Amino acid sequence: MTGADGELGGGGEGGDVLRLTRPRVLMMVIAALLLAYALALAPVVTGRGGEGAASRAPTTAETGAVVPAGAENPPLQLAAELFPPAGKAFIGVMTDKGPYDFAAVDRFAAAARREPQVMLFGVGWESGTFDRVLFDRIKDRGMLPMLGWEPWDYQVDQAARKQKKLTVRQIDRVRSTQPRYRLSRIVDGEFDSYLRSWAEGVKSLGYPVAIRFAHEMNGDWYPWGEKANGNRPGEYVEAWRHVHDLFERAGATNVIWVWSPNARWSKTTGHLAELYPGDDYVDWVGTTGYYGTGAWSGYSPFDAIFGPTIAEIRTFSRRPLVVTETGASNAGGHKARWIRETFRALPKHRDVIGLIWFEVDKEMDWRIASSPAAATAFAQAVAAPRYDFRWSPDLVPRTDLDG
């Protein structure tokens, strides 16, 4: 009922207890707001197999478990932000000097009118000791570092290239014949001390690092290919798992493992499943291919170069896919056209989460900064909202196509 003073209350004894005075109304409003806030911050669990999915833990009544006093309500956990976000794809870059000199990265970003979110750089095992500075330089520029980690002595390749009389295939045979780096020696643990030094170094970074280990393993031009260097079938997978497991034992769990074959160039270069370590050992799958060379010297659109390889990979892996190296020469004057058509095709491949451009003048000029037409085509393509986001060390790598 309503009292003479306009406040709600009960008659008779005890009526003062039920009256809603202004201070009591204020307290009830505050309590209601706190309850709404608590409900809005429901716990969300993120994980490798289902990032961003809401999860409810079973109650003690359901499990019959005895819970210590004060442990009934676990702390709230907010969903982690993923890289790349849902519906987005990143742009990456690889240059000739890598993190030693960012001049080429600056030219690429100016031509693209967008800062890349990933930077790929290569390190060979013969002389490549862990150097934190290289990773921090990339991270401080707002890019995820991706290490192309190569078990070989790259100086053998450089020496072969200086022999002007050698054909391309002869150079391939020279560079790929390095008995010291046979896969069996990795599997047998001969490089474990070296591997541990890198695992400890990567762990100490404290932020995500992608490692593209022993790429283009389906070819015969590197000493880690099963078709070269006295290697035997099955040894590539064994070597990959050995390296991966050593990092895991060292606690270097901040690694995004990237498996990246060369795009199929003939009907006889398939059988990628035999070289795949398994989804438990790989976070991102990838592929490498270029327009304007080899089997793709004539005009070949994105799907002609990458389509068969992507389709084959999807028969044995559900990991997100990255085009880990690509570029276009100006063969036939079609460089700008190839760039435009590639970026029109990419959104159709919903499983492709990124593309890394080879911004190098090597054998052919693959750079987008090489011509105004190529730069304009690239800039217009990556101006789309799909590529408009930033990487930061706090983001969790997307490792699930359904996440």
Determine the pLDDT at residue 347: 96
Output the domain CATH number for residue 115. 3.20.20.80
Would you say residue 53 lies in a domain? no
Would you say residue 353 lies in a domain? yes
- pLDDT tens-digit map of 139-183: 999 999 999 999 999 889 889 888 888 898 899 999 999 999 999
- pLDDT tens-digit map of 67-94: 444 445 555 555 579 999 999 999 999 9
CA distances from 317 to 119, 210, 401 (A): 24, 18, 10
User: Which of 42-46, 203-207, 306-310, 399-403 has the weakest average pLDDT?
Assistant: 42-46
Q: In this structure, what token pair is assigned to residue 58?
A: 């079973």
Would you say residue 253 lies in a domain? yes
CB-based contact 244:195 (threshold 8 Å): no
Would you say residue 35 lies in a domain? no
pTM: 0.81
Would you say residue 279 lies in a domain? yes
Annotate 74-102 with DSSP letters as a single string. Answer: PPP-PPPPEESPTT--EEEEE-SSGGG--
Would you say residue 236 lies in a domain? yes
CB-based contact 197:129 (threshold 8 Å): yes
Q: In this structure, what token pair is assigned to residue 365?
A: 């000029």
Q: How far apart are CA 200 and CA 247, in angstroms?
A: 8
Query: How many helices (H) does the chain have, and how many strands (E)?
Result: 13, 12
Would you say residue 323 lies in a domain? yes
Q: Which domain holds residue 346?
A: 83-397
CB-based contact 328:339 (threshold 8 Å): yes
Structural domains in the chain (count): 1
255 φ, ψ to 5°?
A: -95, 135
CA distances from 110 to 107, 116, 119, 339, 355 (A): 5, 11, 16, 17, 18
Would you say residue 20 lies in a domain? no
- pLDDT tens-digit map of 2-61: 333 333 333 333 334 334 444 444 455 445 554 444 444 443 333 343 333 333 344 434
